[in-house]
């Protein structure tokens, strides 16, 4: 019988590495750069990249949901 691993059994470091790679790819995309350019400069500079990428993904998915 095959052994199935649940998402919760994956070490956090694996998740962190995957998120880091995705975050870097998203941050270097033209869509993200354009979106970030539309933010007030103080907000774009003060927020951590992690927070900006999460917000970008949320807003993009909300737009696509319509």
Q: Say how far apart CA 60 and CA 58 lie, in whole Å.
A: 5
Q: Say how far apart CA 30 and CA 48 lie, in whole Å.
A: 19
Residue 5 lies in a domain: no
| Residue 1 pLDDT | 44
| Alpha-carbon distance values, 21 to 1, 8, 17, 33 (Å) | 33, 20, 6, 17
pLDDT(8) > 80: no
**Model confidence pLDDT, tens digit, residues 25-59:** 999 999 999 999 999 999 999 999 999 999 999 99
Q: Say how far apart CA 30 and CA 56 lie, in whole Å.
A: 12
Residue 34 lies in a domain: yes
Per the structure, the complete domain to which residue 45 belongs is given by 21-65
| Residue 12 pLDDT | 72
Provide the domain count of the chain. Answer: 1
Residue 61 lies in a domain: yes
Residue 12 lies in a domain: no
Residue 14 lies in a domain: no
Q: Say how far apart CA 18 and CA 36 lie, in whole Å.
A: 22
């Amino acid at each position: 019988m095959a052994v199935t691993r649940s998402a919760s059994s994956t070490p956090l470091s694996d998740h962190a590495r995957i998120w880091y790679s995705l975050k870097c790819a998203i941050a270097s995309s033209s869509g993200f750069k354009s979106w970030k350019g539309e933010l007030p400069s103080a907000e774009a500079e003060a927020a951590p990249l992690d927070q900006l990428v999460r917000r970008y993904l949320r807003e993009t998915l909300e737009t696509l949901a319509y």
